[in-house]
Chains A and B, each alone.
Chain A
Amino acid sequence: MTKDHARDRLTTGLGWASLGLGLPLLLRPDDVTARVGAGVGDSQRTAALAVGARELLAAAGLLRRPGPGLLWARVLGDAVDLALLGRALQRPALPARVRRFGTATRTDDRQRALTATAAVAGITLVDLYAAVSRSRGGSASELRAVTTVAKPPREVYDFWRQLSNLPTFMAHLDTVRVTGDRTSRWTATAPFGTKVDWDAVITEDLPGQRLSWRSEPGSRIANEGTVRFLRAPGDRGTEVHVSLRYSAPGGRLGKALARYAGEEPHQMLDDDLRRLKQVLETGEVVRSDGAPGGKRARREFPQHAAQPLTARELKKEGLR
């Protein structure tokens, strides 16, 4: 699920391209600015040197420690380049200045700038493709959470193994439908209320001890996880240890946006385990007037006032 960036040819290729572009910009800035039709001058030279330095940095990064962040930085750099070329295209048609490239005319410059713009636009598309495609699944998250449930390991395992039970305590799951001995289809509500579904397969099943699963290839939310059921010392029931690896659509950007919308994955998993404990120890998710939907980290305060809900509010919470 995580792309191996070190062996990613597109990313590496873009790194070498950056190097190829950066060196001439730094060594012969005036030649380059003239060739792209931006003319020659102090401001052109400064811009060329800055762009060159940026390209070398990008090259170093992409060749040594590639990642979607750098690819997105490249897209941003492309936008800057396009803006600079845009300025070149708008240069007023004044008499030619001193040029080192012989007898270039204003029309020639315009032609050159247009060609360069088209080239940069093409590169931008490639960069954008690389950034988007490498972001997807490019930033897998690893989550861990733990709780102790005052029930024997076999009972906790059995409850979990009955996969259709999962939505009773996993707030974001709508349904889990068992489709085969080891396969199941999951439907969930993702951040911003979108629906996603995927198929999962159980990869390891040690009754009363351990359960592992992963999503089938091609899932939009690629994920895999293990839950271990350990006997707690002193006859206190079962320690439930969950570890999850997942990569959500949109990569890091998507994750940041989700966090902004209040969906902190670690808190969500933590909430889920607290609800699991409630369901197994008390029979159901515990509700109050302030928290009619039960334990939700993002809705602890402020929340509904501690007074009974109106009929309409109860309906909205699905409690009537």
Chain B
Amino acid sequence: MKAALWMGPNTVEVHKVPDPTILNRRDAVIQVTSTAICGSDLHLVDGYVPTMQKGDILGHEFMGEVVEVGKGVGNLAVGDRVVVPFPIACGGCNFCKAQLFSACENSNPNAGIAEKIFGHPTAGIFGYSHLTGGYAGGQAEYVRVPFADVGPLKIESDLTDEQVLFLTDILPTGYMGAEMCDIQDGDVVAVWGAGPVGQFAADSARVLGAAKVIVIDKEDYRLRMAETAGYTTIDFEQVDVRSRLLELTGGRGPDKCIDAVGAEATHGSAHVNAYDRVKQATRAESERPHAIRQAIMSCRSGGIVSIIGVYGGFMDKFPTGAFMNRSLTLRTGQTHVHRYLRPLLERIEKGELDPTRIITHRMPLADAAKGYDLFKNKKDGCEKVVLSA
């Protein structure tokens, strides 16, 4: 089969590889119909996630048709159309039982590496380095799906691939970001990042009852996309973010702040930007923490800062003082996608959420390298690339 492979930093190539097979009784093999490139794939391509190996198949946002099921999978049959959550979860450990699927204790056979970096193991993830299990990803014609009796959601309605594909990751991720904000009547929610996850976090804040949603980014076309959806925007290269947020909130600051940026943030001020860029390049820190710093400094006292942007290691100058003295609450997590599949599918069916609004590029899997280039370098107004296999 054909698959998009990581061949080294900034090198994605489509090559032929062996077809997947059933390795465990609870596996299924899916023939991929649609798959997407995620912002977090860029962290892999940029070379910031350790334990990538040449030949690793990328991709954790994918859906398709079941072509083979293991003996231990009772709920799926060949021909079923499914979306597959990006974290792999066993369903049987204490964390899965507590609905903390991305903290599954059993699905990552390389738990030892994760433990060294994170203190405790994290779940396996498709196509997301060997730190998360060394599982082949979904930017391929076929994928092996472990614990297929736990993860995949059958799509039985006539919704299109594009309407349901993002249930695999970015829609639940944005939604969890807003849900962790515990949004109350009258809340102003600020979202850092107008990429796909930021857009969906804003949409989710809206459906969860936020009075006003503010989206912060520097890419004009992304800010316009947020404005079209009805949000107030701030271009951090044009104005000082904190001052503008105070203006927009009567001097209070946003009640809830969502960081949908993560480790590769940039800053409006060239010298601040350079400071963390150099530290990251010399490995003195693994993150560029502009978004999270700004979110903490901007949030009103007693507010909630919700982190869904991906971080992988250690950062410098985390504003602990602001965080502690002003009674902020920090909430975060890799998305527990399994929890959100059905509720969000319902919201899509009811028309409350329209995930297709962010798709700007569609191309065949064979053009994956081009898709990565457009998305990474923000060329041609690229917001989200969907590949058809």
Q: Is A21 an interface residue (CB 8 A)?
A: no
In the complex, the answer to whether B135 meets A306 with C-beta atoms within 8 Å is: yes
In the complex, the answer to whether B112 meets A300 with C-beta atoms within 8 Å is: yes
Contact flags A303-316 to B (C-beta < 8 A → 1, else 0): 11111111100100
Q: When A303-B53, A306-B53 are in contact, do A291 and B19 touch as well, CB less than 8 Å? A: no
A291 touches which of B3, B54, B134 (Cβ 8 Å):
B134
Residues of chain B within 8 A of A304, CB atoms compared? 134
B18 touches which of A274, A278, A288, A308 (Cβ 8 Å):
A308
Give A237 to B97 CA distance when docked, in angstroms.
Answer: 12
B107 touches which of A286, A297, A302, A311 (Cβ 8 Å):
A286
- SS of B interface (majority): loop
Interface size on B, residues (CB 8 A): 44
In the complex, the answer to whether A308 meets B93 with C-beta atoms within 8 Å is: no
Kindly report which residue of chain A lies nearest to residue B116, judged by CB atoms: A300
Q: Is B173 an interface residue (CB 8 A)?
A: no
In the complex, the answer to whether B109 meets A288 with C-beta atoms within 8 Å is: yes
Contact flags B78-93 to A (C-beta < 8 A → 1, else 0): 0000000000001111
Q: Is B268 an interface residue (CB 8 A)?
A: no
Number of chain A interface residues as a range: 35 or more
Q: Can you report 15 A-B residue pairs in the complex whose CB atoms are below 8 A from each other?
A: A281-B92, A282-B91, A283-B72, A288-B110, A288-B134, A288-B135, A288-B146, A290-B109, A290-B135, A291-B133, A295-B111, A305-B56, A308-B19, A309-B21, A310-B18
A287 touches which of B23, B94, B129 (Cβ 8 Å):
B23
Q: Is B8 an interface residue (CB 8 A)?
A: no
- A239-290 residues with Cβ-Cβ distance < 8 A to B are 267, 274, 277-278, 281-284, 286-290
State the Cβ distance, A38 to closest chain B Cβ, in Å.
57
Contact flags A107-146 to B (C-beta < 8 A → 1, else 0): 0000000000000000000000000000000000000000
Residues of chain B within 8 A of A150, CB atoms compared? 92-94, 97
Residues of chain A within 8 A of B113, CB atoms compared? 300-301
Q: When A150-B92, A150-B97, A302-B53 are in contact, do A307 and B18 touch as well, CB less than 8 Å? A: yes
State the Cβ distance, B136 to closest chain A Cβ, in Å.
5
Residues of chain B within 8 A of A307, CB atoms compared? 3, 5, 17-18, 55-57, 136
State the Cβ distance, A182 to closest chain B Cβ, in Å.
32
Q: Is A319 an interface residue (CB 8 A)?
A: yes
Contact flags B52-78 to A (C-beta < 8 A → 1, else 0): 011111000000000000001000000
Kindly report which residue of chain B lies nearest to residue A287, judged by CB atoms: B23
Chain B CB count within 10 A is highest, among A286, A287, A305, for: A286
Q: Is B41 an interface residue (CB 8 A)?
A: no
Residues of chain B within 8 A of A290, CB atoms compared? 53, 109-110, 130, 133-135
Known contacts A281-B90, A282-B106, A290-B133; 17 additional CB pairs below 8 A are: A237-B94, A277-B93, A278-B106, A282-B90, A284-B25, A287-B23, A287-B24, A288-B109, A289-B135, A290-B110, A291-B133, A295-B111, A306-B53, A306-B134, A308-B19, A319-B23, A320-B21
